[in-house]
Amino acid sequence: MASNCYADIVISGTRIIYQQSAKDVSVKLDNRGQKPLLVQSWLDDGRDSVNPQELKLPFLVTPPVSRIDPNKGQTIRITSLGAELPKDKESLFWFNVLEVPPKAKNTDGENIVQLAFRTRIKMFYRPDGLQGTPEEAATKLQWSLRKDAQGVYAEVKNSSQYYVSFSDATYLNNNKKYSIDTSAIAPGSSASFKIKDLSNTASGGKIKYSAINDYGGSIEREVNI
**Which of the pair, 66 or 51, is modelled with greater confidence?**
66
Question: What is the residue extent of each domain of the chain?
Answer: 9-126, 134-224
d(CA 158, CA 189): 6
Strand partners, 180: 195
Q: Is residue 85's pLDDT more than 90?
A: yes
134-224 folds as Immunoglobulin-like (2.60.40)
Domains 9-126 and 134-224 share a fold: yes
Mean pLDDT in residue range 1-30: 86
Q: What order of strands is seen across the sheet that includes strand 9-11?
A: 9-11, 24-31, 73-80, 59-62
pTM above 0.85, yes or no: yes
Superfamily of domain 9-126: Immunoglobulins (2.60.40.10)
% of the chain with per-residue pLDDT over 70: 92
The mean pLDDT of 51-76, rounded to a whole number, is: 94
C-alpha torsion sign, points 2, 8, 13, 16 = negative
